[in-house]
Amino acid sequence: MTDDPTQLSLLTPAMPRHSASTTHARILLFNSQHASAARACRQAEWISRQETADLVVLTEVSAGPGGAALVEALHHFGYTHVIAPAATDDGYRTVLASRTTALEPVDAGVSFLPHRAPSAVATIGDSKIGILGLYVPSRGPRQRRNENKRGFQEAVTAALYDLPQVFPDMPVVVAGDLNVIEPGHKPPHKVFGAWEYTFYDSFAKAGLTDAFRYLHPDTIEHSWFGRTGLGFRFDHVFTSAEHAHLVRACAYDHGPRTASLTDHAAMTTTLSLTDAPGSTTPDVP
């Protein structure tokens, strides 16, 4: 790289540091925390070193120079397929990236702030998988308290029921920073209202399974920590319920958070796509 980590357009894109799996969907969820251009480049470099980051969902991506630098840095580090919708004046967007698998953009039907909800079909080996990335707005300024958050949650809830038609006959993964916690969260946080817990519950009602809870029903884990040190599990991955049995791994990685690359833990999820009885393809990530 050059001495200036933001000057990536002058460089030839590198080959991916790891080969993408042709038998498993290996997904990394990463909150960019509205990074500056320099920090965004460091984030992309860290992501490129993760073996299981074949498909990446990036949330809280800046609509400005930092977000542009992140997209270009991902390309430089071998992510040749990127969906980076233009953001409106709310300043944030969600980005999808793939090492080698082409991403076919589709409209998941999120009608409010759609740049926070890009979706695509990825072909992995002989299988297809649908991906929807989400970045739910925070509560917002006092004068517009919760307006964008409610509007986006309502639009997402309506769209979830149509995902089987958007992604027919394939596993579906919905991943993102939801800015809500699950009912029964430990520790409890009284700041959240019933309407926010209802949003979390809407995923199950629409036929989606919390992948982390599927594998770790009793584990207390957090992805973001407030100023008092109390933890929140804001970052989530859901799969279509009929494909939940394909989930092989789902875990939080606090490495980028403790390294001050972001204030969120990353999240890794692996789904086997060769689970048919009698398959001769080794079931390894």
Of the pLDDT bands very low, low, confident and very high (cuts 50, 70, 90), residue 8 is: very low
Q: What integer pLDDT is reported at residue 230 of this predicted model?
A: 82
The verdict on residue 5 lying in a domain is no
Give the mean model confidence (pLDDT) for residues 70-89. 91
The verdict on residue 13 lying in a domain is no
Decide which of 61 and 278 is more confident. Answer: 61
The verdict on residue 122 lying in a domain is yes
Closest CA to 61 of 90, 28, 32, 87: 32
Of the listed ranges 89-103, 143-157, 249-263, the one predicted with least confidence: 143-157
Q: What integer pLDDT is reported at residue 145 of this predicted model?
A: 61
Q: What is the CATH number of the domain that holds 99?
A: 3.60.10.10
Q: What integer pLDDT is reported at residue 10 of this predicted model?
A: 40
What does the mean pLDDT of the chain come to? Answer: 88
Per the structure, the complete domain to which residue 191 belongs is given by 24-272
Give whole-number Cα distances, 82 to 96, 102, 104, 170, 280, in Å: 6, 9, 10, 21, 32
The verdict on residue 3 lying in a domain is no
CA distance 8 to 10: 5
Q: What SS3 class is residue 226?
A: coil
Give φ, ψ of 51 to 5 degrees. -60, -35
> Tokens 């980051």 belong to which residue?
53
H or E stretch covering 195: helix 194-205
> Tokens 């925390």 belong to which residue?
33
The verdict on residue 277 lying in a domain is no
Quick one: tokens of 272?
């086997």
Reply yes or no on whether the pLDDT at 136 is more than 90. yes
The verdict on residue 1 lying in a domain is no
Closest CA to 123 of 106, 108, 107, 103: 103
Q: What integer pLDDT is reported at residue 143 of this predicted model?
A: 53
Q: What integer pLDDT is reported at residue 4 of this predicted model?
A: 40
The verdict on residue 261 lying in a domain is yes
Residue type for 263, please? Answer: D
The verdict on residue 6 lying in a domain is no
CA distance 75 to 94: 16
Residue type for 270, please? Answer: T
CA distance 198 to 203: 9
Give the mean model confidence (pLDDT) for residues 199-218. 96
Q: How many domains does the chain have?
A: 1
